[in-house]
Amino acid sequence: MGASTGRVRPHWIGTTRAPVRWPVYLAGVALAGVLKSSATRHLAPLGVRQKGRSRVWLDDRAWWLGVVEFQPSSSSGGSYLNLGAMWLWDEGTAAIAFHVAERLSGFLAYTDDEQFAPEADRLGQAAAAGVGNMRQRFRDIAAVAEYLSGRTTPADERHAGMAYGLLGDGAAAAGHLRRYTEVRDERGWARRQREDAERLISLAADSDGLRVEMEARIAASRARLGLGNP
């Protein structure tokens, strides 16, 4: 299926807009139907749903989202395949984001529907397998907390703290959040996240209170993203 597996940087979807190149755009319109047919066959039976009319499909796991992205190219018709997870406790995120991200397929070029249909089918199958693997990896909050604890980036320290907060382990949550606050980054968003982490640390002595805070954040994120009730 092309030069495939690898990592894609965590990112937000739909936050930038490239200039329209009409031949690429028209190929993309035709291609979207082929990809949707494949995703409908392979992802819809798993309960994964298309986000509007986009090339993004969402696996709603109540407190996290699985994200399948049939990523277009700005220079030619075709698709990459990305798979990720978004933690819904991340307050203030107004767009679909990849907090965990991997690339399941490199770029596959589109010539016409007949040429691309088998490729699209393989992408759909790979996406379905990836969704199953991610559901198992992040099967419950304890598994996610353990996964994040084994990672070393500041962002993962922060998310680990919030995962343990949702789990009801205030001491573990505070430990990860304190390590996050030790990172000196004076960009505006980083300062806001550090101040938020400090506020969560102040709640950590009451594990039930911290868990309720995480649940409220998840509910707020679901409302912002229009996800409805889990």
Residues 145, 127 within the same domain: no
Read off the pLDDT of residues 146-175 as tens digits, 9 standing for 90 and up: 999 999 999 999 999 999 999 999 999 999
44 C-beta neighbours (distance < 10 Å), count: 15
* 56 found inside a domain: yes
Identify the band that residue 30 occupies on the pLDDT scale cut at 50, 70 and 90. Answer: confident
- Specify the amino acid at residue 217: R
Q: Of the residues 111, 136, 161, which one is the last residue of a structural domain?
A: 136
- Domain, as residue range, for 82: 22-136
Place of tokens 């009730």: 229
pLDDT, tens only, 200-228: 999 999 999 999 999 999 999 999 999 99
Q: Is residue 5 part of a domain?
A: no
> What's the CA gap between 204 and 220, in Å, rounded?
20
115 with 33, same domain? yes
- Separation CA 123–CA 110 (nearest Å): 13
Looking at the fold, whether 132 and 154 belong to one and the same domain comes out as no
Give dist(CA 154, CA 176) in Å, integer.
Answer: 9
Q: What is the pLDDT of residue 205?
A: 97
Supply 182's token pair. 């030790």
2 pLDDT higher than 60: no
Position 4 scores a pLDDT of 45
Residues 121 and 90 in one domain: yes
Q: Does one domain contain both 52 and 146?
A: no
Average pLDDT, the chain: 90
User: Are 76 and 126 found together in one domain?
Assistant: yes
- Does some domain include residue 9? no
Neighbours of 116 (CB within 10 A): 23
Best CA proximity match to 34, nearest among 105, 104, 118? 118
Query: Buried b vs exposed e over 187-222: b needs ≥16 C-beta within 10 Å?
Result: eeeeeebbebbeebbebbeebeebbebbeebbeebb
pLDDT confidence of residue 131: 98
> Where does the pLDDT of residue 6 fall: very low under 50, low under 70, confident under 90, or very high at 90 and above?
low
DSSP string, 128-165: HHHHHHHHHHTSSHHHHHHHHHT--SHHHHHHHHHHHH
- At residue 15, does pLDDT exceed 60? no
Q: What is the pLDDT of residue 22?
A: 42
* Overall domain count for the chain: 2
pLDDT digits 0-9 by tens, 52-95:
999 999 999 999 999 999 999 877 889 999 999 999 999 877 79
Q: Based on the domain organization, do 29 and 117 belong to the same domain?
A: yes
Percent of the chain residues past pLDDT 90, beyond the cut: 80
Domain co-membership, 146 together with 211: yes
Separation CA 52–CA 111 (nearest Å):
25
